[in-house]
Amino acid sequence: MESPTQLATQIRFHLETLGESNAHHPFEHLCLGLTRRRIASNVMPATGPVAAGGDDGRDGESYWSIIASELPDSSLSTALVTDEDVVIAVTTQRDDIPSKVRADLAKICTDSAPVDRVIYFTVAPVNVSKRHELQKLARDTYSVALDIWDAQAIADELASHDLFYLAVDYLHLPSSLAPERPQTEATLPDWYLQDRAHWRGPEQARRHGR
């Protein structure tokens, strides 16, 4: 089985091929799925022809929801509901990403719809110093928070057992590479826990000099 590092490397390679083929829509759907499972669950795709700028630079945005107040702590999805005005922006452009981010921020933040935070996804790497520079620009110029997810950050998350399906659906990685679901005490049957405790007993006693 592939290690998490090896799997993330494969995923990153496939992300880069999206940039080469300018496959914006698969990447957009992938990022929307990642956002719903890791960042904010109450987000929906924006509408409008991307090539014509009909989406106002927004590939997704949050929607109002009362589920967090009505059903608190009922599920992971509920816990991830945000009350911020969140915008998702996605690019498969490979070159001069800082200029692309600045241009998209200007478009997003001068639109009439409010925004508190922009989540920006890119298939290209963005070094830490440049990321911080862009985040400062977003704060100082537009009074918004900016989070940048580059190919490495995305790949690391998609290598997780609960998100690998996105790599299968949108990057066409074979499902046979899926990482095993980690077993926790809560998911193991009682009979197994009892038998394990029985057989571990003598070994643990020897380790502790008992």
9: which strand partners? none
* Domain-embedded: residue 195: no
| Amino acid (1-letter code) at residue 79 | A
CATH of the domain at 114: 3.40.1350.10
The range of the structural domain enclosing residue 131 comes to: 4-182
| Domain annotation covers residue 202 | no
In a domain, 200, yes or no: no
- At residue 203, the pLDDT reads 46
Q: Which amino acid is at 106?
A: A
Which pTM does this prediction carry? 0.79
Question: Is 62 domain-assigned?
Answer: yes
Closest alpha carbon to 59 in 84, 95, 24: 24
117-122 and 60-62: which strand pairing?
unpaired
As for how many domains the chain has, the answer is: 1
Mean pLDDT per 10-residue interval, the chain, length 210 residues: 85 86 87 94 77 67 72 63 92 93 94 90 94 97 97 95 94 91 64 64 46
In a domain, 176, yes or no: yes
Is 198 inside any structural domain? no
205 occurs within a structural domain? no
β pairing state of 117-122 and 43-45: unpaired
Distances (CA, A) of 109 to 21, 112, 127, 190, 202: 29, 8, 24, 54, 64
Alpha carbon distance, N-terminus to C-terminus of the chain: 38
Distance CA 169, CA 184 (A): 27
Residue type, 59: D
Decide if 207 is inside a domain: no
